[in-house]
Amino acid sequence: MGNWSKGHQGFTRTTTGEDPPTINKIPKREAGESSEQNLGNDSQTSSGKSLDQMSERLETKRRAETEHLIAQTTPKIASDLHEDWRASRKQDDGTFAPRLKPDGNGGEVDIANTAYSDLPPKWQAENKAAAEGAARAVLENPDDLERAADAVHKDWLTRNGDSAPPWQKQSYKYLPEEEKEKDRVVARAAAERLGKKY
């Protein structure tokens, strides 16, 4: 239905004999105008759907590219994180202060004196999980180291919260500066592999 004008030209006034005057409404448009308007509306609707579909395709592509980038860089970031951690334990004789952990097969492994590639699957998996979380944190916060470090801390808590001491379960902003810096180190390592810099 078209719009009806209530202006002077949009009404006709008729009288018949003794009957009181009546006012009949007549649309103020040509016969074909409604079809053209509908065609215009259909075109706008179709155009809107096309834009929505294009946006959705672009977002799907962007997500796929992000996941591919994370999958590509995670092993490298995991290795970097392990080597950075080992470096903090390096001793004068070139070895690293030992850190014994269960190897998942009933024995123990000195993870400090073991290269990432030689770690048991259980310990590689933890490094990979940390690396993936760090990559996501950096990609979601490319210009804000503190937000990325906060995300790194939250990700760590999802994996280690049950065994973490109470003070480590705090929000990032309440952590001691030394602990915050550990999260920043992880974010910076991921950023470097992703070609970004804080």
Residue (of 100, 99, 75) closest to 88 by Cα position: 99
Distances (CA, A) of 95 to 111, 119, 120: 12, 16, 19
Helix, strand or coil, per DSSP, at residue 12:
strand
Q: Quote the DSSP letter at residue 172.
A: G
Q: Is the pTM of this model over 0.85?
A: no
What's the rounded Cα separation, in Å, for the pair 168 and 175? 7
Which uninterrupted H or E stretch holds 24?
strand 22-25
- Give the pLDDT band of residue 9 (cuts 50, 70, 90): very low
Which range has the worst mean pLDDT, 34-48, 128-142, 180-194?
Answer: 34-48
| Domain positions in the chain | 74-193
Summary mean pLDDT of the chain: 84
Instruction: Give the tens place of pLDDT for each residue, 55-103.
Output: 899 888 888 999 999 999 999 999 999 999 999 999 999 999 999 999 9
The predicted-structure confidence for 131-154, as pLDDT tens digits, reads as follows 999 999 999 999 999 999 999 999
Query: Does residue 37 have a pLDDT over 60?
Result: no
Count of residues in the chain? 198
DSSP string, 73-137: HHHHHHHHHHHHHHHTTB-TTS-B---EEE-SSSSEEEGGGS-GGGS-HHHHHHHHHHHHHHHHH
State the CB neighbour count (10 A cutoff) for residue 98.
Answer: 11
Burial class (CB in 10 A: 0-12, 13-18, 19+), 19: exposed
Task: Answer yes or no: are the C-beta atoms of 135 and 75 closer than 8 Å.
Answer: no
pLDDT category, 125, cuts 50, 70, 90?
very high
Residue 107 pLDDT: 94
CB count, 10 Å around CB of 91? 10
Nearest to 130 by CA among 63, 119, 98: 119
